[in-house]
A and B are shown apart, each in its own frame.
Chain A
């Protein structure tokens, strides 16, 4: 049955083809920057980096392949190990807390409160600030000599210890405090948008059935907000992998290497240590991490109704 269909379809398509390349000329010319960016930078650049991660490039990129050597060296490096563990700690806690705090704030904001605009302005303004500013402010507040620790000590509790930025075991949590300060406002906004998108009838129905509010949230509203949660999750997660400026500003990776992160590893090896191969391998690992997050999401989101 397929044979006649193709023979029928072909002549029809042929007849329109000659115009194809010249139709829409202005649109094609106008799209050149986009096409160049997409193909040369995004696609080409990514492939280039992945390809060169298999070479032993040092000061300059060189085409001499060494297989997986760079990756073996990467995973053997203590600093990379620390970076990955740090990213894990930072990632898991910032996901949990930003979702929790973001949702809590959004739920509170959704209680038909007064001064809603004021509260939103307050919760969101840190998001307008750069990670550098965020990192430096919190570096100052967490400074043990002058910051929170010294204030509490001066109140009489002289053995009080709160110096996360100077303690290798706690430094990632110090960074986390700053990151949550900067980012939860956005999560709150996304969640609030999700909550406002829920039909008011749902609330009326659950009230008539006598279901307490927290149960309605937990078993009805949150499951209904699944798409919002997934989008937020992807946004937070892809931001986590890129965390760089905050660490540079707040701790510069210290004390020692206790707060190193992968993005900083990439930068340091590419532009300071003149060891390009390592930088490429590390950045390829970052790409893989993002792919692990994005691909299942894209599959869930678009897989079912991909155009066919």
Chain B
């Protein structure tokens, strides 16, 4: 029974590190600030930091330049004349091969996909995780193992049968179809996350509630849910960034008018028609990346926990 718990070694390791991180680096401060090792350590870290920051910087400066300046200058130089024209154009009038209403359409589609998918997948997975942790029944672990193994199966293997199922249900190509797909593929990792969390809660609470006559739903809503808000936040971060960034499901399961922002962005930038407007492209790219970046910067450490748990999702 215990072997499932160890499947999530990552989350455990991350949890351990989080505890360590919370107390900060321990031990005394290094005595000399400018020793040789220190210079090497900070030097290397700074070089890497530049590599990681460079694309963000390039995106920002490119999106603020006009096209003539881009053609003349170099991509690393800051804009001489700051213009927000590319941002406006990227949002409202950039062209894909099909239409010319910019990224806004994809943005709102993505919002309409991400919000319900996040809520649906978390609701389903938290109840599943709760049932697996506290209400085991014969065979429940078997289904759970299949679910976890399923997380490793490449999506490409399961896409076509799912297309057929959705087509039979009459919702292939619509937003609700895509929402179902996201809920399905979010399930393994979220169920694992919730199950492990609920298992870690003291069992006495559950037993006490049972003795007081509380049933399945009562315990879930009155005890488990209020006690596990942090894990719900982690799951939300995981799902919002994951679903927002998804490309494959968007392109497979929706019609062009419902394309999410990532698909729309790719169609704008890689569209073969017309003159390439790199500043508009970079503004569009930044707009697409903005939502997960904001989530990232606000959530901080919880994000680390979320992605470590979600890493298997690839």
**Interface residues of A, Cβ cutoff 8 Å to B:** 20, 23-24, 26-28, 30-31, 33-35, 37-46, 48-50, 52, 61, 101, 104-105, 108-109, 111-113, 116, 119-134, 136-141, 143, 146-148, 150-151, 154, 181, 185-186, 189-190, 192-194, 196-197, 200, 227-228, 231, 235, 238-239, 241-242, 244-245, 248-249, 252, 263, 266-267, 270-271, 276, 279-280, 282-284, 286-287, 290, 294, 301-302, 305-307
B34: CB under 8 A from chain A? no
When the two chains form their complex, are residues B293 and A128 in contact, meaning their CB atoms are under 8 A apart? Answer: yes
Mask of B293-314 contacts with A, CB within 8 angstroms, 1/0: 1011100100110011001101
The listed residue (A35, A46, A130) touching B153 by CB distance below 8 A is A46
B196: CB under 8 A from chain A? no
Give 7 pairs: A residue, B residue, CB < 8 Å, sorted on A. A52-B160, A131-B247, A133-B289, A136-B281, A239-B311, A270-B159, A307-B3
What residues of chain B lie closer than 8 Å to A301, measured between beta carbons? Answer: 6-7
- Please give me the 6 A-B residue pairs with the lowest Cβ-Cβ distance, nearest first: A42-B150, A130-B245, A27-B135, A193-B17, A26-B216, A45-B161
**Interface residues of B, Cβ cutoff 8 Å to A:** 1, 3, 6-7, 9-10, 13-14, 16-17, 20-21, 25-27, 29-30, 37, 41-42, 44-45, 48-49, 51-56, 58-59, 62, 70-71, 74-76, 124, 127-128, 130-132, 135-138, 140, 143-144, 146-147, 149-150, 152-162, 164-165, 183-184, 187, 191, 215-217, 241, 244-248, 251-252, 262, 265-266, 269-270, 278, 281-282, 285, 288-289, 292-293, 295-297, 300, 303-304, 307-308, 311-312, 314
When the two chains form their complex, are residues A131 and B58 in contact, meaning their CB atoms are under 8 A apart? Answer: no
Besides A137-B59, A248-B247, A290-B153, 5 other CB < 8 A contacts?
A37-B187, A132-B247, A181-B51, A241-B154, A280-B160
Bound CA–CA A297/B248 (angstroms):
27
Bound CA–CA A19/B150 (angstroms):
31
When the two chains form their complex, are residues A41 and B143 in contact, meaning their CB atoms are under 8 A apart? Answer: no
Q: How far is the CB of A238 from chain B (nearest CB, A)?
A: 5
What residues of chain B lie closer than 8 Å to A283, measured between beta carbons? Answer: 154, 156-157, 159
The listed residue (B7, B37, B241, B312) touching A128 by CB distance below 8 A is B241
Bound CA–CA A226/B163 (angstroms):
40
The listed residue (A104, A127, A242) touching B155 by CB distance below 8 A is A242
When the two chains form their complex, are residues A181 and B146 in contact, meaning their CB atoms are under 8 A apart? Answer: no
Q: How far is the CB of A146 from chain B (nearest CB, A)?
A: 6
When the two chains form their complex, are residues A125 and B52 in contact, meaning their CB atoms are under 8 A apart? Answer: yes
The listed residue (A134, A239, A271) touching B314 by CB distance below 8 A is A239
Bound CA–CA A113/B38 (angstroms):
9
When the two chains form their complex, are residues A248 and B266 in contact, meaning their CB atoms are under 8 A apart? Answer: yes
When the two chains form their complex, are residues A290 and B124 in contact, meaning their CB atoms are under 8 A apart? Answer: no
What residues of chain A lie closer than 8 Å to B3, measured between beta carbons? Answer: 302, 305-307
Bound CA–CA A219/B251 (angstroms):
48
When the two chains form their complex, are residues B70 and A146 in contact, meaning their CB atoms are under 8 A apart? Answer: yes
When the two chains form their complex, are residues B48 and A136 in contact, meaning their CB atoms are under 8 A apart? Answer: no
